[in-house]
């Protein structure tokens, strides 16, 4: 099974330490790659003509087609708050272009008030103009230390995380010897190996 064209990775056999390491390192690499992507696109935007495309190859293999779209000719205005715009129109002598509509008062817009209305109505229907936001799910977050980026080039990554970074997505099972570190023949810095 694939997700966005990439194989789904089963990490259930990993240790908690390796899972935590993978999560933090993925975030660190993602942040670094986001900076590289932004800089590369900004430079390419200066070099590529609008409406042009180029084939991208890595190690002699076509991997993508990069396109620069054409800029639009005209911007558009979109009213995002009809009440605020209506007030502006009225204040600028254009009251004939506005409507008088009932608007809920601030006190009636609180979560507690809406709960009371729903309890009193007892229909199970959410009133027009009200959206229910389910409670936030718990998440795993990583607060990266400033010292982490220099560590990306060191050889201390766990073997499973190293294999993921280097593209070994097919075999994510834990190796027999989990003390194994950087595979032979690499510099220990994936980005350095890529020339970045």
pLDDT, tens only, 120-162: 988 888 888 889 988 887 776 767 666 665 665 555 555 666 6
pLDDT at 24: 87
**Mean pLDDT of all residues in the chain?**
76
Write the pLDDT tens digit of every residue in 32-62: 888 888 888 889 888 989 999 988 887 788 8
Q: What are the structure tokens assigned to 5, written together?
A: 């064209």
Within a domain: residue 25? yes
Query: What ranges make up the beta strands (E) of the chain?
Result: 2-3, 6-7, 53-58, 61-67
Is the pLDDT at 175 greater than 60? The verdict is no
Cα-Cα end-to-end distance for the chain: 32
**Containing H/E element for 40?**
helix 16-47
Within a domain: residue 46? yes
Within a domain: residue 174? yes
Question: Percent of the chain at pLDDT above 70?
Answer: 68
Within a domain: residue 189? yes
Range in 16-20, 41-45, 105-109, 139-143 with the lowest mean pLDDT: 139-143
- Categorize the per-residue pLDDT at 112 as very low, low, confident or very high, splitting at 50, 70 and 90: very high
pLDDT at 64: 86
pLDDT at 115: 92
Distance CA(32)–CA(191), nearest Å, equals: 10
Within a domain: residue 111? no
Q: How many CB atoms lie within 10 A of CB 117?
A: 13
Strands 53-58 and 6-7: unpaired
More confident: 100 or 178: 100
Within a domain: residue 89? no
Name the domain count of the chain: 1
Distance CA(111)–CA(78), nearest Å, equals: 29
Within a domain: residue 168? yes
Within a domain: residue 97? no
For residue 156, what are the domain limits?
2-51+146-193
Is the pLDDT at 74 greater than 80? The verdict is yes
């Amino acid at each position: 099974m694939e997700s966005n064209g990439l194989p789904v990775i089963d990490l259930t056999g990993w240790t908690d330490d390796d899972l935590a390491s993978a999560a933090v390192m993925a975030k660190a690499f993602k942040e670094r790659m986001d900076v590289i992507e932004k800089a590369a696109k900004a430079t390419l935007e200066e070099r590529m003509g609008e409406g042009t495309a180029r084939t991208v190859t890595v190690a002699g293999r076509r991997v993508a087609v990069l396109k620069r779209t054409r800029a639009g000719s005209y911007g558009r205005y979109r009213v995002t708050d009809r009440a605020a715009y209506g007030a502006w129109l009225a204040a600028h002598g254009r009251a004939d272009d506005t409507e008088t509509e009932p608007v809920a008062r601030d006190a009636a817009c609180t979560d507690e008030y809406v709960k009371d209305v729903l309890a009193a109505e007892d229909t199970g229907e959410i009133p027009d103009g009200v959206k229910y936001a389910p409670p936030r799910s718990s998440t795993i977050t990583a607060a990266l230390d400033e010292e982490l980026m220099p560590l990306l080039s060191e050889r201390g990554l766990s073997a499973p995380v190293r294999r993921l970074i280097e593209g070994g997505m097919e075999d994510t099972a834990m190796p027999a010897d989990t003390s194994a570190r950087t595979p032979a023949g690499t510099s220990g810095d994936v980005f350095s190996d890529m020339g970045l």
